[in-house]
Each structure stands twice: as C-alpha cells, then as structure tokens.
Structure 1
Amino acid sequence: MKKLFYPLMLGLAFAGFSCGSSSSENQTQNTGAAALNPGQSAVVDNVSNPNVVQVAVGSADHSTLVAALKAANYVDALSNVGPFTVFAPTNAAFDALPAGTLDDLVKPENQRTLRDILEYHVLLGVYKVEDFANGRNLGTADGRSVTVTKAADGSISINGAKIIGTVSASNGIIHVIDQVLLPK
C-alpha cells in the first residue's frame, strides 16, 4: 500500500503544481486581455434589438447626446442589461442651452458633472407613457428625482421637458424630450 500511495501523492502534488503554473499564466494573460477590453459597448451584435445607446447612435437627432455620453464615459453603463428609462434630449434641446454650456461640460475636468447631468436623465426600470401619473416623482440614477406633469391634452412632461416620442430598446425604453434636464 505504501508503495502505491507515495508515488500517487507525489504525482498528484506534481500535477497540482503544474496546473497552478499554467493557471497563473492564464490569469496573467486574461488580466492583460481584460485591461485591453473596451467594455460592453464594444460588443458587436447586428442580430438582436439595439440597446438604448445603439438606438441613440442610430438617430441623427441625438448626435449631441451620444457625444455627451462618450465624454462622460457613460456609454458602457447604458449598454448593459438595464432595464433603463432614458429621457433623451434632442440636438435642438442641447442647442437651446446657454452658449458655451455644453463646450464647458465636455471638458475632461467636468466629466463628473456631465455624468451627473446624464444620470439625471435615467431611471432604473422601464416606465412606459401609461405609467406616468400627474405629479408623480421618479428617482433618477443620480439619486435625485424628476416630476411628471400630465396635461389635459394627454401630453406628458418631465420637469417641464415634453415627451415628443418613445422608442423601445432591448434594455429599456427611450422617451425623446425637447429640453435638457438640469438638476437643481
């Protein structure tokens, strides 16, 4: 029994040491690959329904929003599973901001402020138009809240920004709005 036991243990120990070395090499290689991985937004999928970011990228009316998402390093977060409700200001909404506001916000030193503003446009969960009730406060991704106003004609506004269209996405819903929401 001893004659079989010791060689078996020695073989197992050697195999464990050998596997540990290989595992370490794999970890080093994987760590290097992870550092080069650009994130969820780099996944190419032309078969599935587009996510909220892909919908915005495909809209000529939202190129300023897409540029802001990139400047705030917020693309990967909104490319994830969600679900999200995004209030997406049009290019015209961004153009209506005071002169120089957007140019200032996209500077690297203002990245956190820009991200806070963009997170103010995001709700966690899917809120369809029929879910909005007059006076309802909804918590935003930045920890603040927005208020829903439902007019007599049925139109809906979020903090005064009118919803002018709605688009479904694979990870949520987008409500196109005519103003940029600015936290107080």
Structure 2
Amino acid sequence: MKKLLYPLMIGLAFAVFSCGGQTTENQNSETAGVDLSPGQSGVVDDESNPNVVQVAVGSADHSTLVAALKAADYVNALTNVGPFTVFAPTNAAFDALPVGTLDDLVKPENQRKLRDILEYHVLLGVYKPEDFVNGRNLGTADGRSVTVAVAEDGSVTINGAKIIGTVSASNGIIHVVDQVLLPK
C-alpha cells in the first residue's frame, strides 16, 4: 500500500507546484492601462480601499500624471505600503508647463529626470490638511524640500501650488494641486 501511495503523493505534489506559476490577467477598470504585472502593483484587490496609484488611475483629471508615473517607472514604488503624501497635479497643471516640456520629459533618456520631478511630489508619511503649518519645510522623496504656505482664508499652497482637493488612499493621502512642482 505504501508503495502505491508514495508515487501518487509525488505526482499530486508535482501537479500542485506546476500550476503555481500560472498567472491570469485580472485588472479592473481602475487599473486598466497601467502596467501592473511586476511588483506590488500586480496585486489585485477589489475589496480594499484603493492605493494612491489606483486613485490617480480612477481620476479623469490625472491621466497625464498616470502616464508620467508609467514613463518614469514609478508605479510600483507608489503602490507599496507607504504611507505617502502625494501632491497630484491635474492634467491642466501639466498643460500649463512650457510647450514641449512634458514631451521631452517622457522620453526614455529622460526617465531619471522625470522620476526626480515625480519624487519631488511625494512625502514619506501622511500629512493631512490640518498638519500644514505656514512656513514649514517638508522633505520630499527625492531628498529636497517643499515649503508650505497657509493663507488667512485657510487655503494651502505647496511651493505656490494650491491644494484644491484631498483624497485618502489605503497607503497614504493625495492632495490635488493646480501646478506641477518643479525642483529648483
């Protein structure tokens, strides 16, 4: 009896392990168009709150930002646990850049420069609107810093870019801004 069970168990183990390498593409509409195959961004979870990248993908006003994240190979970094604070420029903010700037930045040879600019929009940790103090400098993911300004009416700007909305995400918080932050 043991002689019969041993080959059967080996065969069953082989069948189980050989099926483990197969993957299926199961992207929902929030992640369509973003390369989610490798890394943390490949995890599909339709039950939890979306992460910062999934929120951006789901926003019609942030398609340029999503395209820039892909071009800079920065999607996986922002789908990780975080927590992150992301200043997310709108499509109109990107459109306000000098003509040709964005086209130049998304070229493969400028990937590092684009990633530096995108990292300038990211803080490590969660900074809610009430955490912003006038004149406070906050360190960005690229090692630089941005400066907070709080107006008398309570509106907040980051290096002159006005925060026009705030959205929570599973791995941080997103502040929608009306300008692209460019390092000096």
Task: Pick the TM interval, shorter chain.
Answer: 0.7 to 0.9
Cross-structure match for 1:42: 42
1:38 and 1:168 mapped to 2: Cα distance? 25
Partner of 1:178: 178
In structure 1, C-alpha distance between the alignment counterparts of 2:112 and 2:105, rounded to whole Å: 9
Write the deviation string for residues 78-110 of structure 1: whole angstroms up to 9, x where unpaired: 000000000000000000000000000000000
Which whole-Å deviations, capped at 9, do the CAs of 1:113-149 have from their partners, x for residues lacking one? 0000000000000000000000000000000000000
What letter matches 2:167 in structure 1? V
Match of 1:103 in 2: 103
Task: Look up the match of 2:154.
Answer: 154
Percent identity between the aligned chains? 87
SS in 1 for 2:130: helix
What does residue 112 of structure 2 align with? 112
How do residues 22-101 of structure 1 correspond to structure 2 at under 5 angstroms? 38-101=38-101
Unaligned runs of 5+ in 2: 1-16, 22-36
- Measure, in 1, the Cα distance between the counterparts of 2:163 and 2:63: 18
Please give the TM-score of this superposition, normalised by the length of structure 2: 0.80
Q: Which residue of 1 aligns with 2:167?
A: 167
* CA RMSD, Structure 1 to Structure 2 (Å): 1.3
Q: Distance in 1 between matches of 2:127 and 2:182?
A: 20
Structure 1 unaligned regions, length at least 5: 1-25, 31-36
Distance of 1:156 and 1:38 partners within structure 2: 36
Aligned equivalents of 1:41, 1:98: Cα separation in 2: 32
Q: Residue 168 of structure 1 aligns to a residue in which SS? A: strand
Instruction: Name the residue aligned to 2:139.
Output: 139
What is the distance in 2 between the residues matched to 1:61 and 1:42?
Answer: 23
Q: State the alpha-carbon separation in 1 of the partners of residues 159 and 172 from structure 2.
A: 21
Amino acid at match of 2:179: Q
Q: CA deviation at 1:181?
A: 0.1
Tell me, in whole angstroms, the C-alpha distance in 1 between the residues paired with 2:43 and 2:113.
27
The structure that has the greater radius of gyration is 1
The aligned length equals 151
